[in-house]
Structure 1
Amino acid sequence: MFVLAEPATQPQADVWSNLDMAAIKESLTTTGVWAPADQQAALKELVQQADADGHSLHVVVLDQSYPKFTAYRDIATELQSQVGGTVLVFGPSGSGTASSEFSRVQLEDASSDVTKGSTATQAATQMYHKAVDPNVNWNGVTIGLIVLVVIGAVIARLQMKRKRRAESDQVPAAVGGGSDDGEPDDGAPSS
């Protein structure tokens, strides 16, 4: 028998079984942050700013590296299901996000714009601001352009009708006014 790939034998959570998820959840519930002491103040300030903006932001900074590049996203998803809002997880070998407030596209876009070499605090700040910055609403732009074209077409049609009406009012006066001798034209050829 030829085996191409071995099925995963461990559940996802076993990858990060060394984490105290209950303690992380408790910290996120009370302060919004789980991070080393030297990063907590700045991250708590970001969480408070997000709260003032009407968003529930939670930031986790881990010192563990994981072999699976999706581990941080899986951790974020697990925590987000427990605390809600938006969860950003940072570690030495990557980051992960999960949110009920922002779409996956917004989160991925925000992640891709993080400056290389940023600290977790800088990255979290950049990601949050990118996620909440107003994005172009292409549906609105498209609808606006369609409405503009329709209005332009209606105006052009009305101008064309007005021009034709003006031309038709001028033509009968010039053509049907009678002969030059003052007698009405009866339509018979003159001899």
Structure 2
Amino acid sequence: MTSAPVTFVLAAPIDTTAQWADLDLPAIATALESTGVYAPADQVAELEQVVDNAAADGHDLQIVVLEASYSPFTVYRDIATELQSQVGGTVLVIGPSGMGTASSEFSRVQLEDGTGEVKAGTSPAVAAQQIYDRATEPHLDWTVLTIVLIVLVALCAVGARIAMVRRRS
């Protein structure tokens, strides 16, 4: 008797879309496409300055500030990912209990590195600037370094072999 294969789900991502179903994503996307910012009115001018500075550097940055608190903190990344798929570039979502990012330009490591350094209670404009600065600072390209080290080790091995052969003759 043959039984059907058994499938076990070891881990499944939490579906957080129900938590932020009250957000009007099309309206947020429209605001991002026009100004690059969706935030409370008193924060828009400072955030637009960060977006303009990024644009002057050749980067497409969008910033969303939400007043609603979501848990777990990964909800903000889910929102950023959804918005980024609609508007492109780099989307930074800042909320009272966390922040999330999504980008077609910067790696997850660069973005998480930037968000990890923002102190709690930092104003959204300062936080956005810190994240942007951290993401755009020069980074060591580990792929190139690894290739250079492999080539160096290979050359040393060949040189050692040649020296050994010469000593024997």
Identify unmatched segments of 5+ residues in structure 2.
1-14
C-alpha RMSD of the superposition:
2.4
Larger radius of gyration: 1
2:118 is aligned with what amino acid? V
Once structures 1 and 2 are overlaid, which stretch shifts more, 67-76 or 30-39? 67-76
Cα displacement string for residues 8-36 of structure 1 (whole angstroms, at most 9, x for unaligned residues) = xxx74331232222221111000000112
Aligned-pair CA distance for 1:120: 1.2
Is 1:42 matched up with 2:15?
no
Structure 1 residue 111 corresponds to structure 2 residue 115:
yes
SS of aligned partner of 2:113? helix
Partner Cα separation in structure 1 for residue 130 and residue 120 of structure 2:
11
**Aligned runs of 1:18-57 on 2, under 5 Å?**
18-57=22-61
Query: Structure with the greater relative contact order (CA < 8 A, sep ≥ 6): 1 or 2?
Result: 2
Partner of 2:78: 74
Using the size of structure 2 for normalisation, the TM-score is 0.77
% identical equivalent positions? 57
Query: What SS class does the counterpart of residue 15 from structure 1 fall into?
Result: coil
Select the residue among 118, 121, 126 that pairs with 2:130: 126
Show structure 1 runs of 4+ deviating over 4 A.
149-165
| TM-score after normalising by structure 1 | 0.69
* Gap runs ≥5 in structure 1: 1-10, 166-191
Aligned length in residues = 155
